[in-house]
């Protein structure tokens, strides 16, 4: 139940929660492979992490590219999927073409990663996917797409845990976390949102990347948990 000398592949590992997971895994003694579709983000992430991580480019919206990525990576121990573009509020009246595109990386990218990655995971390894609390509690109008994706991710987690056993498959569902997920907001809007959430939450603060990363580390290390979604939301579902 440790990550020492394990190889952890973090898709979407060059920013936000994914970067936090890569750092946390390395702190536990693991070796990290971080992947992104952006060379600039990849270069910046490797500079921030130091020489303890390997970086690779991959377009997770392209199944062929995902398959090729895993063929190049070779055997590893844990797969973490955190990839996704900044949040868009897409409600019941949204353009379906836009909604479908929103699913490409967040859901279908995860599906393809599990499809092509699970064959290379060493015994005792795991997959950890990413959802969000919108599956259980949409924050208001405009959350139809995000809530649907989160629910789909949690259903996929359960199905893969059954289908791929004894490989463990779990999911982390963060609440509001300070990441570039909210970059579509202005600075004023974002600060007001964080402040309002902090007032609402029982813990009285919104999440930090390093706090959320520990949930992924726990699920990689915990050998008696599979098919579960771990909500890390500051008590938000209770507020």
84, pLDDT greater than 90: no
* CA atoms of 196 and 131, how far apart (whole Å): 22
89, pLDDT greater than 90: no
181, pLDDT greater than 90: no
- The answer as to whether 80 is a domain residue is yes
Give the CATH number of the domain where residue 29 resides: 3.40.50.720
- The answer as to whether 184 is a domain residue is no
* CA atoms of 162 and 167, how far apart (whole Å): 9
- Orientation angle between helical segments 209-221 and 16-27, nearest 10 degrees: 60
Number of folded domains that form the chain:
1
Which one, of 122, 97, 120, 109, lies nearest residue 156 by Cα?
109
- The answer as to whether 60 is a domain residue is yes
- The answer as to whether 108 is a domain residue is yes
The pLDDT value recorded for residue 170 is: 98
The pLDDT value recorded for residue 212 is: 97
The pLDDT value recorded for residue 138 is: 86
- The answer as to whether 144 is a domain residue is yes
| Partner residues linked to 81 by β-bridges | 11
209, pLDDT greater than 90: yes
Mean per-residue pLDDT, 220-231 = 98
Which one, of 121, 105, 97, 5, lies nearest residue 58 by Cα?
105
Q: How do residues 97-118 score in pLDDT, each as one tens digit? A: 988 988 999 999 999 999 999 9
62, pLDDT greater than 80: yes
Task: Quote the pTM value.
Answer: 0.94
**pLDDT-derived band of residue 52, with 50, 70 and 90 as boundaries?**
confident
- The answer as to whether 195 is a domain residue is no
Question: What domain range is 128 assigned to?
Answer: 7-177+208-232
**pLDDT-derived band of residue 90, with 50, 70 and 90 as boundaries?**
confident
């Amino acid at each position: 139940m440790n990550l020492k000398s394990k190889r952890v592949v973090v898709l979407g590992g060059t920013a936000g929660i994914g970067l936090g997971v890569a750092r946390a895994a390395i702190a536990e003694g693991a070796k990290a492979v971080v992947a992104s579709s952006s060379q600039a983000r990849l270069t910046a992430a490797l500079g921030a992490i130091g020489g303890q991580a390997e970086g690779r480019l991959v377009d997770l919206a392209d199944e062929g590219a995902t398959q090729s990525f895993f063929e190049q990576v070779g055997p590893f121990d844990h797969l973490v999927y955190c990839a996704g573009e900044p949040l868009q509020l897409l409600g019941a009246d949204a353009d379906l073409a836009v909604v479908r595109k929103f699913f490409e990386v967040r859901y279908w990218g995860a599906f393809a990663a599990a499809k092509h990655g699970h064959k290379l995971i060493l015994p005792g390894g795991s997959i950890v996917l990413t959802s969000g609390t919108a599956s259980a509690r949409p924050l208001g109008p405009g959350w139809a797409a995000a809530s649907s994706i989160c629910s789909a991710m949690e259903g996929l987690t359960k199905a893969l845990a059954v289908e791929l056993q004894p490989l463990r498959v779990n999911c982390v569902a963060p609440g509001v976390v300070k990441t570039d997920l909210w970059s579509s907001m202005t600075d004023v809007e974002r600060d007001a949102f964080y402040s309002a959430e902090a007032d609402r939450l029982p813990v009285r603060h919104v999440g930090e990347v390093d706090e959320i990363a520990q949930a992924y580390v726990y699920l990689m290390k915990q050998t008696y948990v599979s098919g579960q979604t771990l909500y890390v939301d500051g008590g938000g579902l209770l507020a």
